[in-house]
Amino acid sequence: MTACDWPNLISFLSWLAPILSSFFPWPFLILVALFASPIRNALNTFVVGFASLPRAVTAINIAGMKINLDPAKAKALLSISSEVVSANFDRAVDREVERLKIWDKFEVVIKKALEPMIDQSVIAAKDQSPYRVTIHMPDTLQPEVLYQLIEYFPVASQSDARGRRKSIRFGAIGKAWRLQRSDYSPIVSTDREALIEDWGMTRAEAEQAGRGRQTFLAVIIRDSARIPLAIFYMDAMPPQLLGSRSATEISDTITKECVSSKLIESLVKVRTRMEEQVASPQLN
């Protein structure tokens, strides 16, 4: 466009703007623009890129404009952008879990493999739900972190455990993952000091974890290449919920049903989706 065309363009836009605003309020036009693919992609790139900026950032450049930020505001903005990335990651994973019917396959494993091994004699009559079970996977968004893929079984009325993150240095799941070996601990002390010393918990974590749970199981689920894929995790109030079985026997039983139910096959697809979301994040 030549220089002489600019006055005509400005004049045209000045004439067009009032007409558009009379039909469509500006908030509506902005909303439409945000749904446009190029703008969504640009916004997504900015948010993800900003989340990875150094924590000491004090200024950013956008379209040739320099925006100065004081340290407090920069830190707050970085926190917000990180939360956006994390929330979108969680939503992407949740959709994949639902699409692949992970929960249905997980329940099959519990009913056919885990429950037949439970020693009913150690369950008190008052214990309506003496144990809980879930799946953890390595978090592709944060290093050395395990991601709780689904809610606990059975689902509590107000449970919000799905999406929680735990360090690989935490508790039974961290121990099993670091050793890359399934672990069954039929009698674990609920003493706070023992949990801190033996299970790598902080004092706050020990306060919560030590509320009566004495049986812990963490089965390493592997893909077809024998690479650790996930942890089938159970804890229970009564000690020795699975009797005197060995960790190997329990692990083999659980793994066999994970294969039969196609849970492992689906978890591999979830892992792929988690990796894709980190490699090329999308705003959802």
* pLDDT on residue 19: 56
Where along the chain do its domains lie?
5-87, 92-279
* pLDDT on residue 191: 75
The domain 92-279 having CATH identifier 3.40.50.970: the answer here is no
Q: Report the mean per-residue pLDDT for the chain.
A: 79
* pLDDT on residue 139: 96
Full-model pTM: 0.71
* pLDDT on residue 273: 96
Distance CA 263, CA 103 (A): 9
pLDDT band at 29 (very low <50, low <70, confident <90, very high): very low
pLDDT for residue 94 is more than 90: yes
Greater model confidence, 276 or 207 = 276
Give yes or no for a cis peptide into 38 (omega within 30° of 0): no
Q: CB burial class (10 A; 0-12, 13-18, 19+) of residue 226?
A: exposed
Q: Please state the rounded mean pLDDT for residues 226-243.
A: 94
pLDDT band at 5 (very low <50, low <70, confident <90, very high): low
Distance CA 266, CA 99 (A): 10
pLDDT digits (tens, 9 = 90+) for 39-56: 555 555 555 555 555 555
For the beta carbon of residue 38, count every other beta carbon within 10 angstroms: 8
pLDDT digits (tens, 9 = 90+) for 55-80: 555 555 554 555 555 566 555 555 55
pLDDT digits (tens, 9 = 90+) for 134-152: 999 999 999 999 999 999 9
pLDDT digits (tens, 9 = 90+) for 142-190: 999 999 999 999 886 567 889 999 999 888 999 999 999 999 999 887 7
pLDDT band at 103 (very low <50, low <70, confident <90, very high): very high
Mention every residue, 6+ apart, whose C-beta is less than 8 A from residue 132. Answer: 152, 153, 154, 234, 235, 236
Distance CA 147, CA 164 (A): 6
